[in-house]
Amino acid sequence: MNATPPRSSPLALTVLALLHYKPLHPYGIQRLIKDWGKEQVVNVSQRASLYRTIERLHGAGLIEILETGRDQLYPERTVYEVTDAGRDTARAWLEEMLGAPKAEFPEFPAALSNLLLLSPEEMADTLDRRATALAEKLDGIESGLLEEKAQGLPRVTRLETEYLRAVTDAELEWVRAVVKDLRAGRITWTPEVLDAFAEGAGEQ
């Protein structure tokens, strides 16, 4: 058994959290993630990643096998339950993730740092497409929140959706403002200006 717990991840934390409620087999975990809307913040699109996470948690002693069953409708299913070490680890991970902002490297900021490969017009058109996609995403999040509220779910179960709404709304507002500045010529550049800047920076 591993003495060192696996590194925290959104999926690993979610698996431990769901097993706090009741023992589950991997398919049950995946179904609950989707039924509870957690696929918005946890990637379970590939079942293999879920099984690898479960294997790591089991190898570290954070979960253990409760039983292995089989019936006529389903193949053999291993049911897992969380251990005391898993409960302690989940709590530690949760407090760390909530309390300490972590340096992350999402695609969008990386793309923004290299957008000088495009012309101002191309950049405006590209960000316009992103704004349209963000607006559609925001509509979907709003619909989801209304549905969750209609189901009578307590607000604590909707906080991640509220956060996604706030972040998406803020990004949409920012992208639209940048597009507006690009269209108005308040953000502009030319290859000559960039070449001169790069040459000057290289001589420092």
Instruction: For residue 182, report the phi and psi dihedrals to the nearest 5 degrees.
Output: -65, -45
Higher pLDDT, 185 or 102: 185
**CA distance linking residue 71 with residue 27, whole number of Å:** 15
Convert the pLDDT of each residue in 34-61 to its tens digit. Answer: 888 788 888 887 788 999 999 999 999 9
The encoded tokens of residue 17 equal: 């959290």
Instruction: For residue 114, report the phi and psi dihedrals to the nearest 5 degrees.
Output: -120, 15
Convert the pLDDT of each residue in 79-120 to its tens digit. Answer: 999 999 999 999 999 999 999 888 888 899 999 988 888 999
The encoded tokens of residue 204 equal: 């420092």
Convert the pLDDT of each residue in 117-163 to its tens digit. Answer: 899 999 999 999 999 999 999 999 999 889 888 888 888 888 998 99
Kindly tell me if the per-residue pLDDT of 187 is higher than 80.
Answer: yes
- Within 8 A by CB and 6+ apart from 162, the residues are 145, 155
C-alpha dist (Å) from residue 63 to 17, 24, 57, 82, 202: 11, 11, 6, 4, 53
Place of tokens 């925001």: 138
pLDDT at 70 (0 to 100)? 66
